[in-house]
Amino acid sequence: MPIPVIDLFAGPGGLGEGFSALTFGGQRAFKIQLSIEKDVHAHRTLELRAFVREFAPSQAPGDYYDYLAGKITRDKLFELYPAEAGQASNEAWHAELGSKKNPDTEVDERIRSALRQTDDWILIGGPPCQAYSLAGRSRRINDPEFAADEKHFLYKEYLRILAFHQPPVFVMENVKGLLSAKVGQQSIFERILRDLTNAPLAFGKRSDLQYRLMPLTVGAGGELTGQFQPEDFVVRAEDYGIPQARHRIIVLGVRSDIANKPDLLERAHRTTVSETIGDLPRLRSGLSKEKDSAEAWRDAVREITKAKWLNNGRISAELQKEIVTAASRVGAELTRGDQYLERHAAPAHHRAWFSDAKLNGICNHESRGHIIADLHRYLFAASFARCFGRSPLLEDLPEDLLPKHENVPAALKETKFNDRFRVQLADKPSTTVVSHISKDGHYYIHYDPTQCRSLTVREAARLQTFPDNYFFEGPRTEQYKQVGNAVPPLLAKQIAKIVSKI
C-alpha cells in the first residue's frame, strides 16, 4: 500500500510530485491523499496533476495529452473520466490555512477523512516565505507593520497540524533567509526548531512524543553528536543533480518512538543549463511596444550594430565582434512558441525523468515581449557572457544601455543590485528560479544571444526539474509564479527515497 501524504501550502505540487514519483516495482511508494493550496491558479495545476496520478505511472490516457495539445477542454477531459476527476477534486483542496473561511475544525476533518484511520503517513510542505526572504526584509525593514505580518507565523499552521495529528515523519521546506530572520531580537528559525521538536507543547498539549530534527546533508560531526547548527539544514540543490543553485532550508522530523536513522542525500553530477534546456526549440522574443512580427523583431535587434557605443572603441574588440556576429545571425525564421508546440524534445541529462514519449510536444514554451532597449541589453549581456564566462554587471554596460531607472546611480555606486541583467550561463547550473521571474526576464536571460530573450515557463520548469508533461494552468504570469515558488520535484524524489526507508 502506498504511504499516505498530506501536503500543506502545496503550490503547484513540486514537493508532492517528487514523493509521488518514487516507485518500487512499478508501484508508487507514496500517495498524496490531501494537498492544500490557496492560490486559484496553482490549485488548478495541482488538481490537474492529481488527476494524472489517479492512473498508474506512465499510464495517463491519450485524452490527457489531447488536453495539453488544446484539442479538448479541461471540462471535457474530466467529463470523460468522472471517477478519476472526482478523486483529484477530493485530493487537491482549494483552501487557505489559518483563515476564517477554512477553520481548523474543517481542516482537521479533511485530514482525518483523507487518512482513513491510517497511522503511518507523512506530512510535507512549507509555509509561505515572503516575510522570511532577505529581499522582502530589506524592502520592509522600516515598515512598522512588518513585525506584525502574519506571514512570519504561518508556520504555526503547519505546527498545529503536526501537534494535533502527530505523523511519524514530516518534511518542512523554507527559504535560506529564514536563518537570519528575527522578530524583535528573537531568531525565527531557532524558535521554529524548538517548536517543531515538541509541537504539542507549543499548543499546551502534553505528550510523551517529540521529534528528532535531522538535516539531510550534514557531515560526520553533527551525525555523531546529534548537535546540529541551523546552517546544517540548508540543502544546496546543485550538489544533488538539480540544474540550479537553489539553497533552501529542509527539515526532516522523525517522531521519537521511531528508531530508524535517516540516510543523507547523495551528491550527484552538477547539471548545467545547456544540458537541461538546450534541446528545447529556439524561439524569438517579441516586441512589446511596437507592432510585432518576425521581420520587425529581426530588424529591431540588428539595429544594435549601428549603435554609437558599439563603434566608439570603448568595448573590447572581442566583445564587439561577438555582438556583430550574433546580430548578423538573427533572422526572421523563429516563432515565439506557444502553450503547446508539436516538437520533439529530449534533454542531454535526466532524459528519462523529463521526457514522455506520449507527449509528442512541448508545453508552456512561449516567449515574452520586450522593449527594443531590453532586446539590445539582452543581446549585449548574452554576448558578454560568451566572451568572459560571466554575466555582466551594470558597470560593464555601455552608458547608453543603462536603464533610465532612479536606482541605477545608487546601484553603480554601492554595487547593490548591480546584476539586474543576469544571463543564465550555459555551462553552469542556473541561479535560483524565484517567483520574481513573473515580473520581468532581466534576471533570466537566455544564454543564446541570437534568441535575444528571457526564459520561457517551460525552460524555468526544466531548471526546477518538472517533467515535461507537467502542465501549468493560468495566465503566463501566474505560471511563472508557480514555477518559481515550487520545490524541485527531482530533489523531492531523493528526499522521498530517504523517507521511505524510515
List % helix, strand, coil for the chain (3-state, nearest 5).
Answer: 45, 15, 45
Instruction: Taking each helix axis as running N to C, give the angle between helix 155-165 and helix 188-197, from 0 to 180 degrees, rounded to the nearest 10.
Output: 10
The region, left, alpha or beta by phi > 0 then psi within -120 to 50, assigned to residue 97 is: beta
**Among the four given CATH numbers 3.10.450.50, 3.40.50.150, 3.90.1140.10, 3.40.50.300, the one describing domain 3-271+486-501:** 3.40.50.150
Of 139-148, 353-362, 420-429, minimum mean pLDDT range: 139-148
Point out which residues pair with 255 in neighbouring strands: 211
Residue-wise pLDDT for 188-205, tens only, equals 888 889 889 999 888 888
In angstroms, the CA 42 to CA 419 distance is 30
* Structural domain spans, the chain: 3-271+486-501, 273-485
Q: What integer pLDDT is reported at residue 29 of this predicted model? A: 97
Does the pLDDT at position 322 exceed 50? yes
- Does 220 score more than 50 pLDDT? no
Q: Categorize the per-residue pLDDT at 403 as very low, low, confident or very high, splitting at 50, 70 and 90.
A: confident
pLDDT value for 134: 53
- Does 406 score more than 80 pLDDT? no
Cα–Cα distance between 424 and 433 in angstroms, integer? 10
Residue 189 has a pLDDT of: 87
Q: Which residues contact 24 (CB under 8 A, 6 or more apart)?
A: 500
Name which residue leads in pLDDT, 154 or 399: 399
The full 3-state SS of 63-102, as one line of letters, equals HHHHHHCCCCCHHHHHHHCHHHHHHHHHHEEECCCCCCCC
The pLDDT of residue 223 is above 70: no
Average pLDDT of span 456-480? 98
**Across all residues in the chain, what is the average pLDDT?**
91
C-alpha 113/C-alpha 115 separation (Å) is 6
pLDDT in tens, 273-307: 999 999 999 999 999 988 999 999 999 999 999 99
User: Cα–Cα distance between 51 and 43 in angstroms, integer?
Assistant: 12
pLDDT at residue 181 is higher than 90 = no
Q: pTM here? A: 0.93
Cα separation, 335 vs 140, in Å, equals 41
DSSP state of 131: T
**Cell representation of residue 191:** 524558535
Can you give the pLDDT at residue 143? 60
Measure Cα distances from 26 to 5, 23, 59, 459 in Å.
19, 6, 11, 29
Residue 407 has pLDDT above 90, yes or no: no
CA atoms of 410 and 417, how far apart (whole Å): 9
Alpha-carbon distances of 104 from 96, 115, 339, 358, rounded to whole Å: 10, 16, 38, 42
DSSP per position, 390-453: SPPPGGGS-GGGS---TTHHHHHHH-SSTT-S-B--TTS-B----GGGGT-STT-B-S-TTT-S
Q: Give the pLDDT confidence of 44-89 residue by residue, as tens digits.
A: 999 999 999 999 999 999 999 999 999 999 999 999 999 999 999 9
Task: Give pLDDT, residue 233.
Answer: 95
